[in-house]
Amino acid sequence: MNNLLETIVCSAQIGREARLERMIAARVEFKLREDGCVKSWYAKSADDENLFIIQSLFVDRESWKEISERVMDILDSKDGGIETCLLGPPLIGIFSIDQKKIVG
């Protein structure tokens, strides 16, 4: 069986780094509480305090879709969404990973 890995790389507008980080952290915590999310985490770049990577591992594509919709409906409707803090469009990748290849 395959899991789904969502990877997002984004840059904050100058002066909006702390707000973006709080919003990202809230979304990671939200996903972790949802059934269908195996793990979620984020990190700041070692070289650029405006650059973030967010990754979330989901049971399957349906879980990813449902949780993403819940994030939009619940969090984005309250805080306007992370797009309000971004310098430009994020780079987003969705990857299928065989569960047997996941270490940990």
pLDDT digits (tens, 9 = 90+) for 33-92: 999 999 999 999 999 999 999 999 999 999 999 999 999 999 999 999 999 999 999 999
Q: Which fold has domain 2-98?
A: Alpha-Beta Plaits (3.30.70)
DSSP string covering 68-100, please? Answer: HHHIIIIIIHHH--GGGGBSSPPEEEEEEEEGG
Q: In this predicted model, which residue has the larger pLDDT, 1 or 33? A: 33
Residue whose C-alpha is closest to residue 31's, from 76, 79, 64 = 64
pTM for the structure as a whole: 0.93
What are φ and ψ of residue 38, in 5° steps? Answer: -80, -45
Say whether 37 sits in a helix, a strand or coil. strand
Q: Count CB atoms within 10 A of the CB of residue 42.
A: 16
Q: How confident is the model at residue 1 (pLDDT cuts 50, 70, 90)?
A: confident
Q: How far is CA 64 from CA 1, 14, 39, in A?
A: 15, 30, 12
